[in-house]
Structure 1
Amino acid sequence: MLLYKQKKKQVPKGNRLLISVTVIGSAGPIRFVVNEEELVAAVIDTALKSYAREGRLPVLRSNLNDFLLYCPTAGSDALSPWETIGSQGARNFMLFKKQITEKVENDAKSAESITRKSPGNWKAWFNKSLNLKISSH
């Protein structure tokens, strides 16, 4: 009979938390376990990877710099990517896509900032289709 040495699992320091991240426009929250010492940027990255792996809609980009993580109980400011996720004392978060602005030159006189709309804005299409009046005979 052979005896095998059992390797001890390295337990990360700190507590582990089950968090829930709601992506705006998605059907429901994404839940996963994180170490409370993880940075907010790492949590955003994990949420985006889980979102893509599950094949959720709408399709999001994978650049974590394009997103902001909010804690509904902490106020209206987004969480800093460099703070730890456990510092908020919360387990529910919301992931928002940053609004992207472009500089457009107008006749080489001045540049003005405009907000670029996403190409597949299904909410606007849906609301517009509800407003169409269907007349009956």
Structure 2
Amino acid sequence: MLLYKQKKNQSAGKANRLLISINVLGSAGPIRFVVSEDELVAAVIDTALKSYAREGRLPILGSDLNNFLLYCSNAGSDALSPWETIGSNGTRNFMLCKKPQPQNTTEVGVEGRAGMPRKGSGSWKAWINKSLNLKISSH
């Protein structure tokens, strides 16, 4: 009993460590590593990007942590703030996504980004809606 209390008191000064799992959109599997529950979300994103690059995973993401958002896998749809601690949510499963980049439609115009003309006049969403409407109306 005395030995148990000593071990408990020794670990009381240290922050708990968590094994977290981060899924990256488009990647084959999650990245897993141990962090302190007091670690900031920004530092966790940085560690995840370095680990992802070290393992040679695809697609290549880059190393700028400001281009990414971290979401709780089983919580709401809001991204975690880079200044909050990773242990504040009580979850260990996360999703790493690239921030949406604003697109300039004036630069691209009718041609694609590589200078090739587009085959269709609509977007992929319009094509899906059109194909769904054909299937529904053919009943």
Superposed pair shares fold, TM > 0.5: yes
Q: Which runs of 5+ in 2 are unaligned?
A: 1-10, 108-112, 114-123, 125-139
Instruction: State the Cα distance separating 1:72 from its structure 2 match.
Output: 2.0
What is aligned with 2:66? Answer: 65
Counterpart amino acid of residue 54 in structure 1:
E
User: Structure 2 length normalisation: TM-score?
Assistant: 0.65
* Structure 1: 4+ residue segments shifted above 4 A: 102-106
**Which structure shows the higher strand fraction?**
1
- Counterpart secondary structure, 2:66: helix
- % of aligned pairs identical? 72
* 2:83 alignment counterpart: 82
Which stretch shows the higher mean deviation, 46-55 or 94-103?
94-103
Instruction: Identify, as 1 or 2, the structure richer in helix.
Output: 2
Residue 22 of structure 1: aligned partner? 23
The alignment of Structure 1 onto Structure 2 pairs a total of residues equal to 98
User: Per-residue deviation at 1:103?
Assistant: 4.7
Give TM-score, length-normalised by structure 1. 0.66
Letter in 1 for 2:35: V
Cα deviation for residue 61 of structure 1 reads 1.1
Question: Aligned residue for 1:100?
Answer: 101
